[in-house]
């Protein structure tokens, strides 16, 4: 081998062994570092959890749901569903039978009182009138004959009476003259009675003839038609309805109220309603009548409550559905809090018993709060504040919670009026967050970049 072509590593084995790496690889070193860091993180997390669980102080105000005291209007209402009907309407029928020969108006037509609406074929009734008139003429002729016979009988009787005074006749002739006069007078009275009967029949037939023309009994709008032109109508059993005329300038709302809410109503109370297509427009009225007879629907007892509303533009139509609100009480520009913020004074802590907390459960007992307990039993929770007194838990600027007695005014199932004891802008406790709710709120905030902290819902 040529010494000039021999490499340094081949000449010196020690040099070759010095060039080979003897330290651990870089990958193995990085793995050991990662393992150490994971162990440190696990120990740190466990220590923080233990500290948070056993040693850290709980911030109770962060677990409370609060609401801000506001100012606004409040109504305590009783709701019901109703339908609209015209206040004044008439079902126009016919009093005679026959073919509907003419129908002179259509649905939607505006008619005046006394305007002709329809006509029934008058042929039969005209014939009866003509027959009655002919019979009456005949009886009038008979009457004239009987009057002449009576006049003759009077003359004969007078002659016989004169002859009797002169003893120129017999008693038999006088008696015969008297009987003849009485018979003529009876026949005359009989003809007069027949004429009265014929006149009565004539008037009835003339009335029936007049009924063949049907006139509008009131002014209004034709809202329905039950008969068609050319249809045969039979009035022998009941009067058939041809059409309905209604005065749409005033509508009546017929609301159905449950038997539990009827005692809360009284005649004269304010009421308003909205319609399905009315864009939440309110129509106002005053309760007029509560008929005493109920309607039973699927074993539910419902009472009708009636009130009227003006309808000058006729925007309200027959059979519209109305969502009705009877105003039991109201307050304008009042200080308002959620009803869940109130607790009855009598439910506050007693000696030797659990204290109902603002968070909504008795400390360490799991007892339902007063409002939830009342709802669970089916009672109205507002009954607990009938005396006008209540308690609220107020959160100050430093986060401290303090109980305060307030005077309660108008209430509904959502909000309550505070007559005294609170000012707008103060915060009151309405409940507590559950751990699951708080965890979901924190998770949602961490998933959304730059998300604001979750705010409690009033």
What pLDDT, in 10s, does the model give residues 374-410? Answer: 555 556 777 888 888 999 999 998 889 999 999 999 9
112 has a pLDDT exceeding 90: yes
pTM exceeds 0.75, yes or no? no
The larger pLDDT score, comparing residue 48 to residue 433, is at: 433
Mean pLDDT for 41-54 is: 63
What 3 state SS string does the chain have?
CCHHHCCHHHHCHHHHHHHCCCCCCHHHHHHHHHHHHHHHHHHHHHHHHHHHHHHCCCCHHHHEEEEECEEEEEEEEEEEEEEEEEEEEEEEECCCCEEEEEECCCCCCEECCCCEEEEECCHHHHHHHHHHHHHHHHHHHHHHHHHHHHHHHHHHHHHHHHHHHCCCCCHHHHHHHHHHHHHHHHHHHHHHHHHHHHHHHHHHHHHHHHHCEEECCCCEEEEEECCCCCCEECCCCCCCEEEEEEEEEEEEEEEEEECCCHHHCCCCCEEEEEECCCCCCCEEEEEEECCCCCEEECCEEEEEEEEEEECCCCCCCCCCEEEEEEEEEEEEEEEEEEHHHCECHHHCCCCCCCCECCCCCECCCCCCCHHHHHHHCCCCHHHHHCCCEEEEEEECCCCCEEEEEEEEEEECCCEEEEEECCCCCCEEEEEECCHHHHHHHHHHHHHCCCCCCCCCCC
The larger pLDDT score, comparing residue 321 to residue 47, is at: 321
pLDDT, one tens digit per residue, over 23-40 is 556 666 677 767 777 777
336 has a pLDDT exceeding 70: yes
pLDDT, one tens digit per residue, over 151-181 is 999 999 999 999 999 888 889 999 999 999 9
Q: What pLDDT is stored for residue 364 in this prediction?
A: 36
57 has a pLDDT exceeding 50: no
Highest mean pLDDT among 4-8, 127-131, 276-280, 411-415: 127-131
pLDDT, one tens digit per residue, over 296-334 is 989 999 999 999 999 998 899 999 999 999 999 999 999
pLDDT, one tens digit per residue, over 196-238 is 999 999 999 999 999 999 999 999 999 999 989 998 888 886 7
pLDDT, one tens digit per residue, over 344-381 is 886 444 433 334 444 443 333 334 455 555 555 556 77
456 has a pLDDT exceeding 70: no
113 has a pLDDT exceeding 50: yes
Q: What pLDDT is stored for residue 348 in this prediction?
A: 45
9 has a pLDDT exceeding 60: no
Q: What pLDDT is stored for residue 346 in this prediction?
A: 64
- Considering the chain, what percentage of its residues have pLDDT values greater than 90? 58
431 has a pLDDT exceeding 50: yes
Q: What pLDDT is stored for residue 62 in this prediction?
A: 64
């Amino acid at each position: 081998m040529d010494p000039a072509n021999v490499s340094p590593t081949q000449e010196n084995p020690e040099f070759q062994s010095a060039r080979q790496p003897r330290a651990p690889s870089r990958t193995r070193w990085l793995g050991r570092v990662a393992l150490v860091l994971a162990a440190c993180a696990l120990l740190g997390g466990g220590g923080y959890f233990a500290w948070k669980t056993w040693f850290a102080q709980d911030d109770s105000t962060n677990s409370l749901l609060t609401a801000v005291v506001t100012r606004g209007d409040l109504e305590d209402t009783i709701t019901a569903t109703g339908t609209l009907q015209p206040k004044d309407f008439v079902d126009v029928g016919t009093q005679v039978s026959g073919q509907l020969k003419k129908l002179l108006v259509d649905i939607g037509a505006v008619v005046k009182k006394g305007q002709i609406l329809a006509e029934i074929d008058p042929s039969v009734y005209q014939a009866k009138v003509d027959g009655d008139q002919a019979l009456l003429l005949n009886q009038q002729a008979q009457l004239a004959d009987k009057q002449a016979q009576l006049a003759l009988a009077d003359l004969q009787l007078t002659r016989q009476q004169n002859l009797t005074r002169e003893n120129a006749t017999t008693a038999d002739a006088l008696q015969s003259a008297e009987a003849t006069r009485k018979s003529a007078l009876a026949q005359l009275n009989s003809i007069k009675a027949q004429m009265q009967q014929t006149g009565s029949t004539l008037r009835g037939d003339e009335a029936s003839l007049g009924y063949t023309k049907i006139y509008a009994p009131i002014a209004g709008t034709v809202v329905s038609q039950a008969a068609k032109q050319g249809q045969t109508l039979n009035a022998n059993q009941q009067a058939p309805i041809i059409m309905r005329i209604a005065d749409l300038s005033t509508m009546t709302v017929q609301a159905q109220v449950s038997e539990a809410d009827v005692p809360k109503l009284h005649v004269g109370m304010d009421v308003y309603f909205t319609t399905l297509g009315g864009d939440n427009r309110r129509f106002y009225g005053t309760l007029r009548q509560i008929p005493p007879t109920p309607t039973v629907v699927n074993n539910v007892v419902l009472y009708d409550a009636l009130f009227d509303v003006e309808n000058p533009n006729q925007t309200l139509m027959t059979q519209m559905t109305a969502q009705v609100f009877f105003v039991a009480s109201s307050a304008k520009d009042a200080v308002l809090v959620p009803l869940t913020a109130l607790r009855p004074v009598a439910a506050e802590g007693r000696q030797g018993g659990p204290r109902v907390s603002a968070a909504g459960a008795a400390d360490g007992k799991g007892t339902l709060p007063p409002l939830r307990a009342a709802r669970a039993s089916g009672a109205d929770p507002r009954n607990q504040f009938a005396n006008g007194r209540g308690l609220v838990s107020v959160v100050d600027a430093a986060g401290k919670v303090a109980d305060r007695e307030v005077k309660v005014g108008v209430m509904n199932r959502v909000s309550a009026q505070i007559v005294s004891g609170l000012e707008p802008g103060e915060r009151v406790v309405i409940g507590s967050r559950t751990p699951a709710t708080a965890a979901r709120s924190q998770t949602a905030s961490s998933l959304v970049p730059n998300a604001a902290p979750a705010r409690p819902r009033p």
